[in-house]
Amino acid sequence: MNVLAIETSCDETAISIVKTTQSSSNLNFQVLSDLVMSQIDIHVEYGGVFPAVAKREHAKNLVPILIRNLKESNIYTETQNQITNLDEIQKILEREPELFEQLSSLLQTIEKPDIETIAVTVGPGLAPALWVGVNFARALSAAWNISVIPVNHMEGHIASILLKNNFRDEKNALLNFKDFTFPVIALLISGGHTQLVLVRDWSNYEILGETIDDAVGEAFDKVARMLGMEYPGGPKISQAAKQGIENEHIKLPRPMINSKDYRFSFSGLKTAARYLIQDLENQNKLSEQTIADIAWEFEHAVTEVLTRKTLNAIEEHNAKGLIIAGGVSANKHITESFTEILTQYNIPLYLPEKTLTGDNSIMIAAAGLLNQWNKKRTALIPGEELKAVGNLKISS
């Protein structure tokens, strides 16, 4: 069975096609095609992601990316095709007229491809961005009369660690998910989210705690901006931090590090960084070295909070492993700190392959199929209600 996966929750437009090899005892797939188009260049101008801009870019790029996927997967066959329900498809895409124009001309010039179902991110994320992907999935479902699997983006990040390091060349791209011992703690850190999740089993999740204000990645991006670094600032801060050293005049707080819960707060850390930077600027002490020292201190403050809370969760739940996923899991200082600490606990650390830390659609295919396999959710038949939910929560 070929599955088309779509991800548009933030600033990456991602589509992939996977071929499943499924039996009653296991699930796996081969990646036939996988494309991610980043909008970063556009968002750099604005210093961050604006939902309306993200939506416009997704609408513009979905059809070209779909075409490239179909071609790469060898399921693109040109033909004159009569689509009988174009009215219905136009209604589904009434808020995305440009997308409708592109899609209707594609549908009328190719054969229905060998795709059995669509996995699409329905939340959490930026609602306008999510809706484009969801409406695109609804339109394709109507055009090709195929089902749709709604997928939670955070479950996608958790499932991202199941892809083997050489997943693009493997017939079986997924690790054997039955080899995992539960419970596992998942620390999900991205531009939009900071969550500790108790993973009781694949498809059985409980949020232990999350940020009450900014997400970790958001704090990285905002502090980077204060230091004159371009969006997305996470990688740039971590680059600058390599030249930084501990500096007694450059200190930042570790917010909520001693609170006896799994909530996080990064807004105060960001404000403290702002005052520190202003102070240094007023004293004419903002140099390349002090910037590197701020980056060092900021990265250490974040890491200390993340490690303390995560270790508390590991201990409380006697976890048998730790997953770290999401865009910020690309941060070497954070992952190396966890690797070092976990040796004391003698439990494995699961990280996504490096191209899968950020948003992608392979993880959406994996999470959607896992849920199907575990019978957590049934696929929706064409026409069944499918909605985007900006603040969707992960659930059991």
CB of 326 to Zn ion, least distance (A): 5
When asked if residue 330 is in the footprint of ligand KG4 (CB under 6 A), the reply is yes
Of 293 and 359, the one with the shorter C-beta distance to ligand KG4 is 359
Q: Which residue is nearest to ligand KG4 (CB)?
A: 327
Selected binder of ligand KG4 within 167, 180, 202, 220 (CB under 6 A)? 220
On whether the CB atoms of residues 212 and 224 are closer than 8 A, the answer is no
Ramachandran bin of 257, using left for φ above 0, alpha for ψ from -120 to 50, beta for the remaining angles: alpha
- Closest CB 26 distance from ligand KG4, rounded Å: 28
Task: Kindly tell me which residue out of 331, 361, 371, 372 binds ligand KG4, with binding defined by CB under 6 A.
Answer: 331
CB of 275 to Zn ion, least distance (A): 30
Told to check if 190 binds Zn ion by CB under 5 A, we report yes
Tell the smallest beta-carbon distance from residue 165 to ligand KG4 (Å): 18
**Cβ distance to Zn ion smaller for residue 172 or 355:** 355
C-alpha to C-alpha distance for 214 and 222, rounded to whole angstroms: 10
Site for ligand KG4 contains 359 (CB under 6 A):
yes
Give all strands (DSSP E) within the chain, no chain letters. Answer: 2-7, 12-22, 27-38, 117-123, 147-152, 184-189, 194-201, 204-210, 322-325, 349-350
Candidate segments 90-98, 263-271, 355-363, 388-396, binder of Zn ion by CB under 5 A: 355-363
Q: Which stretch binds Zn ion (CB under 5 A): 38-46, 144-152, 183-191, 255-263?
A: 183-191
- Closest by CA to 362, choosing from 102, 67, 207, 165, is 165
At what angle are helices 51-72 and 97-107 packed, to 10 degrees? 10
If phi > 0 it is left, if psi is from -120 to 50 it is alpha, else beta; for residue 339 that is alpha
Q: Can you give the binding site for ligand KG4, defined by CB under 6 A?
A: 10, 190-192, 217, 220-221, 232-235, 238, 326-328, 330-331, 358-359
